[in-house]
Amino acid sequence: MKKKRWIALTLCAAMLASTALTGCGGGKDKEEGGKTETQAQGESQSGETAAAPADSGEPAVYTELYSSECATLNYLVTSNTDEMQIGANCIDTLVEYDSEGQLKEGLATEWNYDEATKTWTFKLREAKWVDSTGAEVADVTAQDFVDAMKYALTPEYESGTVQNLFGVIANAEEYFNGQAFNGGADEDGNVWEPVDFSEVGVKAVDEHTLTYTLATEVPYFLSSLTYITYMPAYGPQLEELGKEFGTAADKMYYNGAYYLSEFSPQERRTYTKNTLNYDADNVFIDEIQMIYNPEANTLGPEMVKRGEVDSATIGADLLDDWLANEDTKNLVSKSRYSTSYAYFYCFNFNPQFDAEYEPENWKKAVNNENFRQALFHAVDKTKAVAVSEPNTPEDYVLSTITPFEFAYTEDGTDYTTMGALAGRKATFDEAEAVKYRDAAKTELAAEGVTFPVKVLMPYNPEVTNWDKECQVVEQQVEALLGSDFIDIIVEAGPSDSFLSNVRRSGKYAFMLCNWGADYQDPETWTDPFYESKGESGYDGGSSYAFLGTAVTENGAAGPAVKEYFDKVDAAKEITTDSKARYEAFAEAEAVLLDHALVIPSNISISDYLATKLDVFEGQYASFGVSTLRFKGQHLLDHYVSMEEFEANRDK
């Protein structure tokens, strides 16, 4: 596998403090902070480029099945990747990334930063809003960005990503909490006085000049602008519709590469090319037909054989047969290799599951470091990954939480090789696992823990291969540590709202979780674990391991958890020296690993696909929503072979 290096823009704010940028080049599946349970994402056989249907004068219509329906089209409030795909394709951002991961102009044509006032200024191009028929509605103005942020900062609209503005945009958190607590005190006794929105650090200087004033130096700010939190919306429509915004295709306007011309829940979703888009010449697919079918994973491959869809995932259960069959072997390629998502096994320190799974017994066990270390070293992640990627599973396995090749300092040093993270090796070690198990047995028995410790390990039945991966982990870990020591209980969770009903609700003991980067900086990988301190304890934040519980309840893991929180706090304060900042975050991440508070697993596994898209033509960034966009891709007249995929990758 060829691995490309993407140089980080993490210090853009500091290094480009007073430089105007025109056409700036810069550098460079499960939900939370914008993620879902899964993030799954030409040339002919002779090597010659084949013409796409659009090039022959016929409209290019791309078709695929999908099995998970959107609950909302409102990109300003969603934290679900499936739903973010709508915003990604239908709403343009100030900046965007090309297929090589290079920052470039979007709706903004130039920008500059004033270090003294911590203010970014963006000059906007001429652009249009259209409705769900493609008819022009209004001009895109700077006020649309202001109104969209005000909407997201309004508590009654319940934005799932609004926290990304806190501590970044001046007075954003103060404005939000002033409304949320009506000028009163929160649960920690903090009094939040009302703040007028005029004090929030977003301003429309004129129709085509937008400013953001930051609460503090934010070295990754430019990269965060490709995320949904900073997308615009047409202000008059937001005011008119309120909570109804984004509840149907005709209840939102569009300024991006596509508009949503049809949304029939559990039937179809149709994206139509927006010919009024400023960059319409670089949109090569005229229509995208997304057809709902709950059996998409099963039916998709069969429909590929009949030429009825243009893309489908080829599951591990079908892959060998497809590759061995002359009729299908040249239809198989892969999705693009990506470091935008990381998967890890979480220990739940605040179990809320049923009594039959012995939550109090689990709480004692999980607070014991030797117990956690036993599991940390017992899970053979290569075997688990091999369920979905049987050929090269080792390419995807992680020894850190932050993926390799995600971020680099200015001198090209990979963050995961710095400081306390340097030289990390594979965590699977049978001898170490047994050693820690034996130590844990003695300590836990003295605390009255009963054996085997029950370990509830749920999965979403809608996610392909997750059940099989859980079974592999169960069999492998119990065989190594002994079924008299641990009893891993693999159980299917609900297919609907799995994250809300299971992960965020704490109804698991040990589970594969994940996170996708929102911006290009190691800080983004602290979100699943970090909690800030309030008067009454830790606030939970977006953490779904509930680490703060170990501190507030004086659990044995408390000191290690607090050390991690404190080191994250210290790292956040370093904003102008990338090397020092990265080394500080590396120290914090090392605490998670050294105390086995979480077990790193793998980056997103490239799906085996049958597709008529060259996946390397699309926008790319190891964060945000760039990879969800169809802009820049051509619809080919054939399914891409593995040979063609590799040639495209190595260009």
Supply the pLDDT for residue 411.
Answer: 86
Q: What is the DSSP string of 466-507?
A: HHHHHHHHHHHHHHHH-TTTEEEEEEE--SSSHIIIIITTT-
Supply the pLDDT for residue 27.
Answer: 27
Residues 612-636, mean pLDDT to the nearest whole number? 94
Three-state DSSP state, 292: strand
Least confident of 342-351, 496-505, 562-571: 496-505
Residue 447 has pLDDT above 80, yes or no: yes
Query: What confidence tier does 551 reach under pLDDT thresholds 50, 70, 90?
Result: very high
- Smallest Cα–Cα separation from 476: which of 358, 596, 382? 382
Reported as a single tens digit per residue, the pLDDT across 484-498 is 999 999 999 998 788
Look at strands 533-534 and 21-22 and give their pairing: unpaired
Q: What angle do CA 517, 395, 433 make, to 5 degrees?
A: 90
Residues 320-327, mean pLDDT to the nearest whole number? 95
Residues 594-614, mean pLDDT to the nearest whole number? 96
Supply the pLDDT for residue 56.
Answer: 60
At what angle are helices 430-446 and 359-366 packed, to 10 degrees? 120
CA dihedral 156, 161, 164, 169 (to 10 degrees): -40
Residues 64-93, mean pLDDT to the nearest whole number? 94
Whole-angstrom Cα distance, residue 185 to residue 82? Answer: 36
- The residue with tokens 């016929």 is 58
Any bridge partners for residue 462, and if so which?
none
What's the farthest any 2 CA atoms get from each other in the chain?
A: 77
Burial of 306 (0-12, 13-18, 19+ CB in 10 A): exposed
Supply the pLDDT for residue 148.
Answer: 98
Q: What angle do CA 62, 632, 269 make, to 5 degrees?
A: 35
Sheet strand arrangement including 608-611: 258-264, 268-273, 287-292, 61-66, 311-313, 608-611, 333-334
Reported as a single tens digit per residue, the pLDDT across 190-206 is 889 999 999 999 999 99
Residues 399-412, mean pLDDT to the nearest whole number? 91
Whole-angstrom Cα distance, residue 191 to residue 162? Answer: 20
At what angle are helices 430-446 and 466-481 packed, to 10 degrees? 70
Residues 447-472, mean pLDDT to the nearest whole number? 95
Supply the pLDDT for residue 33.
Answer: 36
Which amino acid appears at position 180 of this protein?
A
Task: Identify whether the C-beta of residue 503 lies closer than 8 Å to the C-beta of residue 518.
Answer: no
Query: What confidence tier does 559 reach under pLDDT thresholds 50, 70, 90?
Result: very high
Residues 556-579, mean pLDDT to the nearest whole number? 94
- Smallest Cα–Cα separation from 138: which of 275, 241, 235? 235
Three-state DSSP state, 260: strand
Supply the pLDDT for residue 462.
Answer: 83
Supply the pLDDT for residue 21.
Answer: 32
Residue 45 has pLDDT above 70, yes or no: no
- The residue with tokens 């011309």 is 261
Residues 233-238, mean pLDDT to the nearest whole number? 98
Report whether the peptide linkage leading into residue 393 is cis, meaning its omega lies within 30 degrees of zero: no
- The residue with tokens 């198990």 is 437
Three-state DSSP state, 212: strand
Q: What are phi and psi of 521, to 5 degrees?
A: -165, 145
Residue 57 has pLDDT above 90, yes or no: no
Q: What are phi and psi of 198, to 5 degrees?
A: -60, -20
Q: How many CB atoms lie within 10 A of CB 4?
A: 11
Q: Provide the CB-side half-sphere exposure for 445 (13 A, CA).
A: 10
Supply the pLDDT for residue 534.
Answer: 67
Burial of 32 (0-12, 13-18, 19+ CB in 10 A): buried
Residue 28 has pLDDT above 80, yes or no: no
Task: Identify whether the C-beta of residue 480 lies closer than 8 Å to the C-beta of residue 378.
Answer: yes
Three-state DSSP state, 554: coil
Residue 302 has pLDDT above 70, yes or no: yes
Q: What is the pTM of this model?
A: 0.78
Whole-angstrom Cα distance, residue 110 to residue 102? Answer: 15
HEC-encoded secondary structure of 523-570: HHHHCCCCCCEECCEECCCCCCCCCHHHHHCCCCCHHHHHHHHHHHHH
Residue 271 has pLDDT above 50, yes or no: yes
Which spans in 306-368 are helix H? 316-324, 359-366
Ranges of beta strands (E only) in 191-281 are 202-206, 209-213, 258-264, 268-273
Q: What angle do CA 395, 9, 27 make, to 5 degrees?
A: 70
Q: How many CB atoms lie within 10 A of CB 566?
A: 13
- The residue with tokens 């990754």 is 220
Supply the pLDDT for residue 365.
Answer: 98
Three-state DSSP state, 342: strand
Greater model confidence, 22 or 587: 587
Supply the pLDDT for residue 542.
Answer: 67
The string over 462-478, giving b where at least 16 C-beta atoms fall within 10 Å of a residue's C-beta and e elsewhere, is: bbbbbbbbbbbbbebbb
Residue 47 has pLDDT above 80, yes or no: no
Query: What confidence tier does 296 reach under pLDDT thresholds 50, 70, 90?
Result: very high
Supply the pLDDT for residue 409.
Answer: 86
Supply the pLDDT for residue 412.
Answer: 87
Three-state DSSP state, 472: helix
CA dihedral 623, 596, 484, 468 (to 10 degrees): 10
The rounded mean pLDDT for the chain is 89
Q: What angle do CA 83, 456, 477 make, to 5 degrees?
A: 110
